Amino acid sequence: MELQKKVVERRRHPRYYPDRTNQPKVNLILNGGEKISIDVVNISQGGLLGYASSIEQFINYRLQKIKVIELTFPGKLPYKCSGKILRIQPTREQQKCFCAVQFAENGYDDHQNHFDIGEKIEQSLHPSEEIVIPDQIFLNRILKAENYMKIKDAKRESEVRKTVYDSFDDITDELSLEEKWWFFEMVDEMKRHEPEYPGELKKAFVNLCRVGLEQSMQKAHKLDDY
């Protein structure tokens, strides 16, 4: 079984996660004149990750410049800058897509006063605290689960396997079908090697636990906003 390698990401700017009190309104005006509204997932001094309602509008603009990016934070005067579309990725929701956008360093207001775009964003937002769940929390969950790989009775083995799989619903609910398959393959391998988990297998398992739990928490946070 091939294991995914953990990618260490070094960001130049910290990401900010707007909530209801500081969620910016963002519009992209592309060079062709199209105006697209963006729902912000996270934003930094250098750019943003968001999603839009139509991937067709973006498909021909990947890696191309954005004529105008309009940003308006609650209680603040609107300001603008130019930028570039770095990445476009379909979502599981029909017709929607994620987009990564890079800001130009200089922005301007409606009176053509120029300023550093990063400083403006810094004044509007504060970094969210990152809560890191220890690896052992995830490992304890699988260690405490009954080892169905050692059960000889086929019917009982199937029942226990399902119970163990279901116990990870909070992690797997928002994973794609491919990710779910990969996750349960790792669960099987972990139980097969128990109690001595191979190092790379253990890392891959913990990493996907974090991804799945984060996605579930993000969905819960969005539901709380309605």
Rounded Cα distance between 49 and 21, Å, is: 18
Per-residue pLDDT of 58-71, as tens digits, reads: 665 555 788 899 99
Rounded Cα distance between 125 and 16, Å, is: 7
Rounded Cα distance between 226 and 224, Å, is: 6
In one-letter notation, the amino acid at residue 223 is L
How much is the pLDDT for 201? 92
Per-residue pLDDT of 139-154, as tens digits, reads: 999 999 999 999 999 9
State the sign of the Cα–Cα–Cα–Cα dihedral 43, 44, 49, 51. Answer: positive
Question: Which residue, 124, 150, 184, sits at the end of a domain?
Answer: 124
In a domain, 189, yes or no: yes
Cβ proximity of 198 and 160 under 8 Å:
no
Name the band, by pLDDT with cuts 50, 70 and 90, for residue 165: very high
In a domain, 100, yes or no: yes
Question: Which residue, 80, 105, 124, sits at the end of a domain?
Answer: 124
Residues 198-208 as b/e (b if ≥16 CB within 10 A, e otherwise) read eeebbbbbbbb
Q: How many domains does the chain contain in total?
A: 2
Name the one residue in this structure whose structure tokens are 């987009």.
Answer: 99
In a domain, 69, yes or no: yes
Name the band, by pLDDT with cuts 50, 70 and 90, for residue 189: very high
- Separation of CA 27 from chain center: 21
Range of the domain at 157: 135-224
In one-letter notation, the amino acid at residue 193 is H
How much is the pLDDT for 5? 38
139 in the same domain as 48: no
